Each structure stands twice: as structure tokens, then as C-alpha cells.
Amino acid sequence: MGRTARDGFQLLRQLAVAGDLAALCDRNDVALLVVHGSVVRNHLDTEPRDLDLAFLGRIGARADVVGLTNELIDAGRYGRIDLMDLDQAGPVARSRALAPDAIVLHEEQSGLFAQEQIRAITEEMETRPLRRLDLKLMAA
């Protein structure tokens, strides 16, 4: 494919603006799709190794992560996509993927990103003491 992670991101953004990404998300029961990680942090001195995407499936839908990944690879014409299923992610990963620098590519309902972001931050904060205790117990 010979493209960069930034090229893949830009192409997915163009598809989002054109409405084509919404159709892809609809076919795959995706309610929310965001870009996160090094591509959105704008470190122009280093090229990101991959394109980090995270998705939230529609309620009650079974995610075909492999199928969705393949469609996103084809759509973005970039093969190194790291796709996170937010329903399966731990609290820290979920909170990082939905951080303020994340860029929404698809949002089925207005406000869904903000709602999920608040939920992720709350869960990360509420579970922090237990994660610290786990680390202490492992170190002992």
C-alpha cells in the first residue's frame, strides 16, 4: 500500500466528510469511531507506526472486529490499523482512546462521544485505587 498512517487518517477523514464512512459504520453496526494515539498528537518529527482507531458497537450488536478492520484498511488504503473495541477495552485503554485529543470520525447520535468520554473517565478514576492495590500486591 505504501502509504503512511497520516495518509490513511486523512483519507478516512475525507470519507467521513463525504458520508462514505457512515455507510461503512452502518454496515458494521458501529455507533462511534474515533482516531486516537500518535496520529492525532501531531508529532511531525516522527512518523506514527500505525493508525490507532477505536469503535463502539451498537447496543446488542456483535462486533466483527476482523471484518471491520479489513474494511477500514481498504477504505484508508493503509494496512497498519490498530483497532480497539471500546466495549472490550479496560478502563485505562478506554479512557486514553476517548481522551480530549481523540478525533471523531463517526458518531451515530450527537453527543455519543461526550457521553462515552465521561463514562470512560469516571470508570478510570473509580478503578484507580484498585489498580494501584493490584500493583502493590504483585510487587510484594
- pTM confidence score: 0.91
The Cβ-side half-sphere exposure at 60, using a 13 Å CA radius, reads 0
In whole numbers, what is the pLDDT of the chain averaged over residues? 94
Whether the pLDDT of residue 79 is over 70: the answer is: yes
Question: Residue 52: its pLDDT value, please?
Answer: 97
- Strand pairing category for 81-85 and 51-57: parallel
- C-alpha to C-alpha distance for 114 and 76, rounded to whole angstroms: 25
Whether the pLDDT of residue 135 is over 90: the answer is: no
Residue predicted with more confidence, 137 or 98: 98
Segment 19-55, tens digit of pLDDT: 999 999 999 999 999 999 999 987 667 889 999 999 9
Q: How far is CA 17 from CA 20, 33, 104, 105, 127, in A?
A: 8, 13, 11, 9, 37
The domain made up of 5-139 is a member of CATH 3.90.1070: no
Question: Residue 117: its pLDDT value, please?
Answer: 97
- Residue spans of the domains in the chain: they are 5-139
- C-alpha to C-alpha distance for 43 and 118, rounded to whole angstroms: 26
